[in-house]
Amino acid sequence: MCGIVGYIGERGAQGVLTSGLRRLEYRGYDSAGIVTLGANNQATLLRAEGKVSELDKLVLSHENKDTVGIGHTRWATHGEPSETNAHPHKAGDIYLVHNGIIENYKELKAELKNHSFESQTDTEVLVALVDSLYDKETLLVDAVTQALKLVVGTYGIAVVSTREPDVIIVARMGSPLIIGVNDDETIIASDASALVGHTDQAIYLNDGEIAVCRRDGVELQDMSAQPISTRVETIEVDMQAIQKQGYDHFLLKEISEQPVTLRSTLSGRVNVEDKLIKLGGLNLNTEELRGIEHVTIIGCGTAYYAGLLSSYYLEQLVDGLTIDVATASELRYRSFHLPKNTVALVVSQSGETADTLACLREIKRRGVKTLGIINAVGSTIAREVDGGVYVHAGPEISVASTKAFTSQVAAMIMFGIQIAQAKGVGVQDTSSYIEELDQLPNEIEAVIANYKEQISAIAKRYAHYDHALYFGRDTLFPVALEGALKLKEISYIQAEGYAAGELKHGPIALVDDTFFEVALLLDNWLFDKSLSALSEVNARGGHVFAITNSKKEIDAEETLRIDTKLDLLAPIVINVVQQLFAYYVAVARGNDVDQPRNLAKSVTVE
């Protein structure tokens, strides 16, 4: 949520900052800005409402050779998207960019009588606060440290001053920051993707740490100004993975690359010959796995739905295991109770979602073992869990999450199999899962190749509707929820997901000509029951698009029958169909599918 970049080195800062902001734009895209520091205490502040391309136009007419600067791409929290509310914000000689939320900004603002506020942001309060502590004898790092002691909330910040043009101060509390280091330059970013092509050597800042960044190095300190030794790590982000590679949109690329990314999830973990699973990073021995009696799964949005779908598989796999699944934004404020011998699965693509992180910390505080099901390597959640599984789906740039869902579900199924096997469930009882996991990438590949055109044509038929109702039973219920989320976030069609059996308890009242319905049906023992729900919708004049793996007769306006060998895992393939459907509907409606309105990729505010 929001992106930060900073540069101090020998190269032109404007170019490094704007190219970094373009990489981070998926994190927030309602306004953007940069400030660079030049000779004679001059600063060039450029800010624009809208996407980074608007800022680029400004930079073209204000080009300079400054070699120090900071930049930001914003997702509005306090104050509308506008040039005035865009970062960097200024007070006195200081410029500051900020991710996160200053919760006590109103109280602080009331004290800062000497600053005349221009914006509605909490960030301007922070820069004014730093400025109020920055007298002639004080160093910027000390003023920042003092100011942060007065702040309640979350932040990742980068700060510069025209009085000290050879230094950038950065600090973190709850909002990620990475500092890339080269011999003669230092690059700051809120996400490793902005460092790609510059360096693979970086320091991940921890909460409560402040860094003094210079051209030739970085010094770390804590909030009491005590030095901390620096920890340079090698980051691995592949340039190819953050480019569109010929696709019209990142979303289509990410949907299409699922066969490859899923193979990475499964690689080295599924042994089809011996029908065994080996997840390396759980940090649980067989005895501990055997002792698990309860699994709590937490996540937000798509990660939550991945958890919900996985819970159906886990309870099928492990007899007697109890499972609950919760949205982290709710659970964190509930008086929840975790039974003895619980393991918590913390599911997140970005590994930075604020609600999920807060829940993780609360669960850990209660002494419960936590395992991450995480995509972003080195992310905050990944570093704070006791163990876990990196899903290795590669960078997800499009705001709508697709490939991460598929890999998260696969990872949690593997986890379920590993518990089952530790508890003595015979290899023959888990073998069909293992075989289907092994076949899943090929099946997804075939479905994308064989049905893409048909899905695109069907999407055009439904693109003009204002409302949609998705429904499915059993494992297809969470898939219906995820399908509805995908459609609403990129097409802006109001979409609801329901358990098929629940339609008659209320939602069927919605059925009219402004709605279309997506009916999900599996060719299993619940097929006839699912068909009844569909018939009830038809009887009320519904406009049903049915997606199924069945060859049985179905009465619907449109039916897409996918030919797949899979049985247990067919819902995951059906979800890929839904992803493509949502994509083509959004394209037909002319929407910005990769950066849908009002959203941001990684939600690091509450």
Residues found near ligand M6R in the complex (CB under 6 A)? 300-303, 348-350, 353, 356, 399-401, 485, 489, 602-603
Residue whose entry in the numeric block shows the structure tokens 């960097």: 88
CA 478 to chain centre: 19
Q: Which of 90, 253, 486, 601 is catalytic?
A: 601
* Residue 340 a catalytic site member: no
In the bound state with ligand M6R, the residue whose beta carbon lies nearer, of 121 and 401, is 401
Q: How far is the CB of 485 from ligand M6R (least distance, A)?
A: 6
Q: How far is the CB of 304 from ligand M6R (least distance, A)?
A: 7
Enumerate long-range contacts of 547-554, CB under 8 Å, 24 or more apart: 547/518, 547/519, 547/520, 547/521, 547/574, 547/577, 547/578, 547/581, 548/520, 548/521, 548/522, 548/523, 548/574, 549/522, 549/523, 549/573, 549/574, 550/521, 550/522, 550/523, 551/523, 552/523, 552/527, 554/521
In the bound state with ligand M6R, the residue whose beta carbon lies nearer, of 405 and 471, is 405
Q: How far is the CB of 175 from ligand M6R (least distance, A)?
A: 14
- C-alpha dihedral sign at 449, 454, 457, 460: negative
Distance (Å, whole) CA 211 – CA 581: 46
In the bound state with ligand M6R, the residue whose beta carbon lies nearer, of 305 and 515, is 305
In the bound state with ligand M6R, the residue whose beta carbon lies nearer, of 485 and 503, is 485
Do 527 and 549 meet the contact criterion of CB atoms below 8 Å apart? no
In the bound state with ligand M6R, the residue whose beta carbon lies nearer, of 379 and 548, is 379
Q: How far is the CB of 399 from ligand M6R (least distance, A)?
A: 5
* Residue 601 a catalytic site member: yes
Q: How far is the CB of 491 from ligand M6R (least distance, A)?
A: 12
CA 246 to chain centre: 23
In the bound state with ligand M6R, the residue whose beta carbon lies nearer, of 444 and 603, is 603
Q: Which of 2, 213, 300, 359 is catalytic?
A: 2
Q: How far is the CB of 192 from ligand M6R (least distance, A)?
A: 14
DSSP conformational letter for 281: G
In the bound state with ligand M6R, the residue whose beta carbon lies nearer, of 485 and 573, is 485
SS3 576: helix
Distances (CA, A) of 162 to 95, 462, 518, 577: 9, 56, 58, 54
Q: How far is the CB of 387 from ligand M6R (least distance, A)?
A: 18
Give the pair of three-digit tokens for residue 389. Answer: 């599984």
- C-alpha dihedral sign at 301, 302, 304, 305: positive
Report the residue closest to ligand M6R, judged by CB: 301
Max CA separation in the chain (angstroms): 82
Count CA within 13 A, CB hemisphere, residue 17.
36
Distance (Å, whole) CA 177 – CA 190: 4
Length of the chain: 606
Distance (Å, whole) CA 233 – CA 204: 8
CA-CA-CA-CA torsion for 412, 417, 423, 426, nearest 10 degrees?
A: 170
Cross-strand partners of 347 = 373
Distance (Å, whole) CA 135 – CA 156: 23
Do 37 and 8 meet the contact criterion of CB atoms below 8 Å apart? no
Do 585 and 571 meet the contact criterion of CB atoms below 8 Å apart? no
Which residue type, as a one-letter code, is found at position 564? Answer: T
Per-residue three-class SS string for 251-279: HHHHHHCHHHHHHHHHCCCEECCCCEECC
Return the closest-CA partner of residue 328 out of 280, 367, 373, 286.
373
Q: How far is the CB of 391 from ligand M6R (least distance, A)?
A: 10
In the bound state with ligand M6R, the residue whose beta carbon lies nearer, of 400 and 586, is 400
Q: How far is the CB of 482 from ligand M6R (least distance, A)?
A: 8
In the bound state with ligand M6R, the residue whose beta carbon lies nearer, of 140 and 485, is 485
Residues belonging to the active site:
2, 601
